[in-house]
Each structure stands twice: as C-alpha cells, then as structure tokens.
Amino acid sequence: MKNLIYLFAAFFLVAIAGTKANAQTIATHTEYDYPSWCGVTSFVVTTTGCTSGQNIMAYFGDGTSSSSLGVRCFGPAGHDTVWHTYATTGTYTVKLVLFSGTTRYDSVVFIYSVLLHCRMLPVEAYIDANSNCVCDAGETGMFGGSTFEIDSAGVPIDTCTMLSGAGYVAYGPPGTVYAFKLLTPPGGLSVTCPSTGILYDTVPATSAAATTKYFGFACSSSSSTFDLKIWAGFWPALAGRFANYAFIYLINSTCSGTAATVKFDFSPRFAFRAVYPSTLTYTVTGTTVTINAGTVINNMPECILVALTPTSTLTLGDTVNTRFTVTPTTGDADTTNNVVVRCDTVKAALDPNRKSVTPSGDITAGTRLEYMLEFENDGNDTAHNIHIMDTLSSYLDISTFRTIASTHQVNVLRYNDSGANILKFDFPNIMLPDSIHHDVCRGMVSFSIKAKSTLAPGTVIANRVGIYFDTNPVVMTNTVYSKIPVPGNVRTQTHLSQVELYPNPVTDVLTIKAEAGAYKTLSIYNITGQLVNTQDIGQAEVKVNVHSLVPGIYYVTLKGANGNKTIKFEKQ
C-alpha cells in the first residue's frame, strides 16, 4: 500500500511538472517607442511554451487592433512583436492576447502612455529664378548654407543649418505649430518666399508624411558680396585607383560669380603628374601647382583633381603635409574658409569611400571638428539615389551641428533613435556617373560639430558612416579617431631620431626601425594610457607581436639616449 502511495505521488508530481513545461502563457511584454519614426511603438512579447500556429492579437486602446505575423519558437519559448502608430499623445489601455488558431491561451492588460508624438517636417531651399514662389522644374536647390531658428508653439528651441534641404523632427501633439525663421541667408542672396523669411508648419494628425515647405531665394541686384570656399584633401597610399590624388572642392556663395585661382603646395617627396578636368589651365613651379579654376558661380560647385607621383618609396604610417588656397580674398565675405592645411598618413591602399576629420589625433575637449564624407560610384552604371547614414558618437554635442558644403544637392535629416543621434545625408536623383568618368564620379558632403566640453582625458571619439548606392548593400567607410590625451601617461616629444613603423594599420606583427642604439626600450599604451606591452630594443629593427591586442588605436613610446618618441598605430 505504501509503495502504491509513493508511486501515485511520483506520478502526480511528474504530471504537474509536465503541465508547467508545456504551459502556453505570456511570460513578458516590453514596449519600445521610436521617436525618429514619429509615433511608432512596438510591443515585444515572450511566451513560455511555444507551438506552431500561435500569434498575438493586440488591442491598442485607441479603437484599433492588429494581429501579429506569428510567434517564432526558440526552443521551449516563443518571441513575437506587434507594431502600432498612435495618432496622438495620451494614456491607453493595451491588451495582448495569445492565440493558437481560435484557442485563447493567455492575455495581459496594462497601461501604456504615449509621451512623445512627432513628425518629420521637410524644408527645402531653391533659387526662385522666375520669382513666382513655386519651385518649378529646372529651378535648382541651394549649395550655400543658411541658418534657421526653429521655435515650437512660439518658443525658440533650436537652430538648424541647411544647404538644399533638411528634415526636422518635430515633437508634440497634432496641431503643434513650428516656425522656421531665416537668420543668415547665403552671401549675395535674399529670401523672397515667404517675404517674411519665416515658414510655418504644423504637426499633422495622421501618420502621413508632412508636405515639404520651401524657401525661395533670389539674387540681390545691389550686392557684390561673394564667398569662395575650399575643401580639399590629399590621399597618400601605396595602391588604389586614386592613390596620391588631391581632391579639391570649390563653392562660391554669390550671384555674379567670381574668377578663382587655386594654389596647391605639396610635399617634395612627390612630383606633379596631371590636373583634371584637363580643360583647366595651370602652371607648376617646384612643388606648387597654380590652377585657373575659371568663374565659380553660385549653385555650381566645382571639383578639381591633381595627380602626383611619389619620387621615392612611400613608408606606411608616415605623414605628408599639403596646403590648399583659393583666391581672391579681397572682397570675400569670409576668408576663414579660403585655406586648407592637411597632414595625412600614408596608407597601404586607398578606399574612395571614406571619412576624414580635421583636426585629427589629439584634441582638447570642446574642439569643433570638421568631418568630410567622400564617396565614389565605383560601379559600372549610373547611381540614381545615394544616401549616407552617420550615427554620431555620444561624445559629440549635437546642438553644435552645422552643415558646411556638398558637391551635389543634399537633404540633411537629423534625428534621435533610442538615444543615438543620427544624421542622414540624402542625395535624391544624384545621377552620379560610373567609375570610367574619373573626374566627375565623386561626391562630398562636410559638416562640423563640437566635442563635448566635459570629456575626460583618455576619451576617444570614433566615427564611421554607411554609404548606400541605390539598392546595393551598404558600403562602410574607415573609422576616424579624435582623442582627449591622457596627461603624463603618453608623452610625444620632438623628433630626435628617424623611426619607421609598419604596417599601419597592423594585424599581427608590427615592425619598428630606428637608428642603432638610439632607443633601449619600447612600450605600447592603449587609448586610455594603460601599458599593454613593453620590451627591450637590442637592435635597429624590432618586431612586436600584436596579434592578441584588441582592435583599436595604440601608441608606441620609444625611450633611450635620444629621448622619448611616441608614434600612433591602429590594430585591426
């Protein structure tokens, strides 16, 4: 009898355990809102127990409901997501029900508050050639930058810079009025539409996209103002189709146009080879190329390429100095953007889709950084639409963002997604020729933003972008770095002895060459100033195994009779 009781008890416990293991219930539910998507909410559900054919029916509390696509099973548990867009802010009673076919297994009821409601309000600027306050076919967008003050419900809340267009994420319940007030128009231009210089837009009550609003500009007949601007870079590399080319971009904010001259001073380690477009006239004196750029007019950016040839073998990790100047400066409204000075690092190969930052390397907290994003249609057909997505470092102050220039008409969208500040540079209908048109298949957009003033020593600001050519997979650029140095941990002193470090970037073995006896020890520090490796130097050439280091930026410090010398390298 006792054995029979024990057997029954064991059977009962197993039965209970089996029932719990196979229970079909809602275990957890989590809500996520997406401010940048303007009112979109997702309800994420996990279940205990999962069988084929289950789904979640959601009742959103605003009179609407929706069924999910179906619970996905991961072992004994299930996972599902239901999406919904709320039209207004408010508090809603939400009910989620777990079904399998018509059989109801479990449900949960909770209160969900929609705190933020938003819409992307698009604004564009154009040259109103016929003064009819309509952006007609053939009337071009702007390339000169404008600055706007933005207010919500009559309260100034932000400033925004724009070239040809921008999208602003407006928060608030439907009916909230936003005003875009023009503060500074491009040089030589005045706003004609609207005549007040203020555009108004309203957060709509539906999820439909807001209608684009337009600023129309016209030339001021009495204005003789011009503003020549130059953005340029030189890309020294051992390989690559555009290795050892200088790329020069000119823009002029004016109505009448200005005859411009570009002077390019390059390193004596190179010799001049060619200028593109080949129709431009130029002279070469030593290591200076002087180019007659012709008349640069408003809304017609000009791109110039200068090809150089190394006169000796390039050394990976070495630096090359260049200087670019555009004149005239007399009568120029802003001469601070007429000169570019670069210090670029020799790389193994050139990637035509890249990002650069000025200044690079060590900076102080609060420094304004200028980023240049360059892209090239390296395919075999015209690129119709291109856009760039840039998720900014959290160490950058988004309130200081300013759009500077672009080679093509671009709409800039700035928004926040789950705490991350994201920039989207949209080039609709860019029609960028393919790679056989080597002098016109490139594009560029640049912007500036400040590093936060409260950054601690050792902080590294890393940034890269994704470039999308039509429907092709994303092309990721290189990563650029700016660093708040650590005082006392890593010291860089004046060059005392020639040192070579290669390859840079490095994957496995780093080679360091120096004069025999110049240095006795080497130390490697990470970006926070922590020592990660040290060893003696017994010969002129030493090899260091860095395979086990985490990818990132490091510093090699050499110490010896010739003092201290620090060189930066990147571990891939």
CATH of domain 499-571: 2.60.40.3080
Count of alpha carbons within 13 angstroms of residue 505, beta-carbon side: 15
Q: Where are the domains of the chain?
A: 20-114, 118-219, 257-483, 499-571
- CA 80 to chain CA centroid, Å, is 32
Question: Which of 462, 476, 479 lies closest to 392, judged by CA?
Answer: 462
Q: Identify whether the C-beta of residue 107 lies closer than 8 Å to the C-beta of residue 43.
A: no
Q: How far is residue 546 from each of residues 459, 508, 529, 571, measured CA to CA in Å?
A: 22, 5, 17, 8
Q: Which residue has the tokens 């709409």?
A: 411
CATH topology of domain 257-483: Immunoglobulin-like (2.60.40)
Tell me, yes or no, if the two domains 118-219 and 499-571 fold the same way. Answer: yes
For residue 187, count CB atoms less than 10 angstroms from its CB and return exposed for 0-12, middle for 13-18, buried for 19 or more. buried
Q: Which residue has the tokens 């477009």?
A: 277
Q: Identify whether the C-beta of residue 416 lies closer than 8 Å to the C-beta of residue 424.
A: no
Count of residues in the chain: 572
Question: Which of 94, 96, 21 lies closest to 55, judged by CA?
Answer: 96
**What is the spatial distance between Cα 11 and Cα 328, in angstroms, rounded to a whole number?**
95
Q: Identify whether the C-beta of residue 508 lies closer than 8 Å to the C-beta of residue 546.
A: yes
One digit per residue, pLDDT tens: the chain, 572 residues?
A: 444 444 444 434 334 434 334 458 888 887 776 554 556 788 888 888 888 888 899 999 999 998 887 888 877 788 888 888 887 767 899 999 998 888 888 999 998 877 555 677 888 888 887 888 888 877 777 777 788 889 988 888 888 888 888 888 777 777 888 999 988 877 667 888 998 999 998 877 665 667 888 888 887 655 567 888 888 888 898 887 778 989 898 888 766 688 999 999 999 999 999 998 889 999 999 999 999 998 887 667 788 989 999 998 888 878 888 999 999 988 887 888 899 888 888 888 777 788 888 887 788 899 999 898 888 877 677 888 888 989 899 999 988 998 888 888 888 888 776 678 888 898 888 888 776 655 555 788 889 999 999 988 888 898 889 888 887 888 888 888 888 887 654 444 444 457 788 888 887 788 888 877 778 888 888 766 667 787 878 677 788 888 778 777 788 888 876 667 778 888 87
What global pTM score does this model have?
A: 0.61
Q: Identify whether the C-beta of residue 35 lies closer than 8 Å to the C-beta of residue 416.
A: yes
CB atoms within 10 A of CB 445: 26
The amino acid that residue 532 corresponds to is V
- Return all residues near 56 (Cβ < 8 A) that are at least 6 apart: 43, 45, 67, 68, 71, 80, 82, 96, 97, 98, 99
Say if domain 20-114 classifies as CATH 2.60.40.10: yes
The architecture that CATH gives domain 118-219 is Sandwich (2.60)
3-state secondary structure 137-166: CCCCECCCCEEEEEEECCEEEEEEEECCEE
Question: Which of 447, 465, 453 lies closest to 160, judged by CA?
Answer: 447
- What's 431's DSSP letter? -
- Return all residues near 242 (Cβ < 8 A) that are at least 6 apart: 235, 305, 350, 352, 376, 438
| Sign of torsion over alpha carbons 305, 310, 314, 317 | negative
The amino acid that residue 56 corresponds to is I
For residue 471, count CB atoms less than 10 angstroms from its CB and return exposed for 0-12, middle for 13-18, buried for 19 or more. exposed
Beta-bridged to residue 266, according to DSSP, are none
